[in-house]
Homo-oligomer: A and B are copies of this chain.
Amino acid sequence: MDGFELQSGRKHDSRRTRANILAAASRLFAEKGYSAANISDIADLAQTTKPMIYYHFGNKEALFAAVLEDVYAQMREIERAVPMADVPARAAMRTLVEATFDYHAAHPDWVRLIAVANIHDAQHIQQLPTIAAQNAAVLAILDGLLQRGVAEGVFRSGIDPLHVHLLISAFCFHRVSNRHSWRLVFQRDLVEAEEAARQREVVVEAVLRYLS
């Protein structure tokens, strides 16, 4: 789960203040959405003052953009989980799917922030020029895996990596982002531990079967 921790230390410490604001903003934007989260609450949670937020980030929109940048950067740890060349393609793919599943499961705030950003047409992501370059990496990894799988004779050819990524991401994201409506409509908590374990197998299975 996402933790929220403040750093503390001496009186004038720009870096710490900035980090605390970012953490608080991340938490509250995720919890309440962009508009409902307010600068006062963020300042309080960050144990600082409103003007400090403006001093460090300029305005609310830029703060949200900074939160998204921060959060997108953290997500890249998924890629690190994926085994490289020496593992068979199927096993590597399984690991990638599981890592993706686990990351979403462990970071519901991340999921909610992306959902919030999309409600606002991802306008704040647009302000982050490096986002595209950073995240396209997943597609390259997937492409490599697919090619290896074809070479090993375990995957079909002609599969679009983006479609595989969509198949995986959609599932992992949705069960977190739409947890609450599903709970009410279908009376089952998608996020509860045993259910989660079963779903983890479902995506892996679905992806591997799709590729075979």
Task: Please list the residues of chain A having a beta carbon within 8 angstroms of any beta carbon in chain B.
Answer: 32-36, 112, 114-122, 125-126, 131-132, 135-136, 139, 160, 162-163, 165-167, 169-171, 173-175, 177-188, 190, 198-199, 202, 205-207, 209-210, 212
Contact = CB atoms under 8 A, between A and B. Distances in A.
A149 to B, nearest CB: 15
Given A36-B34, A115-B118, A162 B188 contact: yes
Given A171-B167, A174-B166, A187 B132 contact: yes
Contact of A171 (B135, B171, B186): B171
Contact of A173 (B36, B139, B174, B183): B174
Main secondary structure of the interface of A (DSSP, over half): helix
The copy count of this chain in the complex is: 4
A59 to B, nearest CB: 16
Contact of A135 (B169, B174, B185): B185
Contact of A210 (B115, B119, B169, B209): B209
A136 B186 contact: yes
B160 A198 contact: yes
Given A115-B118, A170-B170, A170-B173, A132 B212 contact: no
A176 to B, nearest CB: 9
A170 B175 contact: yes
B180 A135 contact: no
Contacts of A122: 180-181, 183-184
B125 A119 contact: no
Contacts of A139: 186
A180 B36 contact: no
B118 A116 contact: no
Contact of A185 (B32, B136, B180, B187): B136
A119 B118 contact: no
A189 to B, nearest CB: 11
B132 A177 contact: no
18 contacts: A34-B35, A34-B36, A36-B120, A125-B181, A131-B184, A131-B185, A135-B186, A136-B187, A139-B186, A166-B175, A166-B190, A166-B199, A166-B202, A167-B171, A170-B173, A171-B171, A205-B210, A209-B212
